[in-house]
Amino acid sequence: MPLSLPVSSPAPDAAIRVMVVDDAVVVRGLFTRWLSDEPDMVVVGSCRNGYEAVENLLRINPDVVVLDIDMPEMDGLAALPLLLAKRPDLIVLIASTLTRRNAEVSIKALTLGAADYVLKPQTNREVTTSQNFRRELIEKIRQLGRRIRSRLSARGAARDRTKEDASEPKAPPIKLRPFSLFPPRTLLIGSSTGGPQALQVLMRGLAPVLGRLPLLIAQHMPPTFTTILAEHLGRATMHPAHEAIEGEVISPGTIYVAPGGKHLRIERQGDGAKVVLDDGPPIHFCKPAVDPLFSSAAAAFGASALAVVLTGMGNDGAEGSSRIAAAGGNVIAQDEPTSVVWGMPGAAAHAGACAAVLPLDEIAPRIVRLVTGENP
């Protein structure tokens, strides 16, 4: 089956190379027009199914693949591992409509290595007219694509570096705070792009202490997706996990996920705390957002709050992290090399709120030491 090429003129080396994989010719054409209008992007391939994408991947050599879920011959979920096997550094952006089945498939794809997802409107007509969807698609491709393009640029710069380069000013170093000695009474996690994969790794390492304190998670996701995420976390950890419910008392050993379309806050209640769901406007364009959870935890738990900022776009969580630090609590951020996007953790780190900035696989061991009272 032939590949639909060419789709655009050659672009500068710095342009993000995109492959569009969708069985709908209208969608492929629309995405191609949108992305070709962006000065920093070029569509290098347009495929009708996963089989075409896998067969032509190495020849086309894209930076980012926009991958539809439902396609004939080979769907997106079947194609994903084959694409990543050929190109482990490939950025894959899943495109699907909002149904429970597609939410389950999309989260499965995220755990298998897809970087992020975009929610397509229900019909091709709505796809054509939705400016919000267009903006989200372009921005996610841009943010994800920059990472791989910057790696390529860094390699080229390293080859060409001269002695004069060493004298160029560098970014100010991140200033870390000392760890609080107060034992954590609650664990909070904020995440976005790349979060489901990072959560999967983190949960495995937290097994020794998950029963000792409540875990509250704000992951940037819409309704239905957060329901499925909570179910996945429950199966993975063998601990109770569900979307947080208005007014429920938070208990050790339970995982609470902020429901899509609501902000999750914590409010003191006697010696403990309860869930408060906030239907206010989006914060940092997100609902749920991380800042409301972290800020309310700082007020409710003070120095006994322990927060983790995982991979994600933007700066959500930086303000809440600063409040936790000001209250005497601890904040740990994922480091840049292991983050899909170092927006959120980078913002928290540069705000001076963090006691540690760690690779993903070192975060859980540090949390375990903090919870068990060992030297952090």
Residues labelled catalytic? 192, 220, 316
Closest CA to 201 of 113, 260, 286, 118: 113
| Residues pairing with 269 in the sheet | 272
Beta bridge partners of 94: 67, 117
Asked if 28 and 4 count as a contact pair (C-beta separation under 8 A), the reply is yes
Which residues neighbour 18 within 8 Å (Cβ) at sequence distance 6 or greater?
Answer: 35, 41, 42, 43, 44, 62, 63, 64, 65, 66, 141, 145
Residue 336 backbone class (left: φ over 0; alpha: ψ -120 to 50; beta: rest): alpha
C-alpha span between 333 and 351 (Å, rounded)? 11
Q: Are strands 241-243 and 215-219 parallel, antiparallel or unpaired?
A: unpaired
Residue 249 CA to residue 63 CA, distance in Å, equals 45
| Residue 251: other Cβ atoms inside 10 A | 12
Please give the sequence-ordered ranges of beta strands (E in DSSP) within 33-184, or none if there are none.
Answer: 41-47, 64-68, 91-97, 116-120
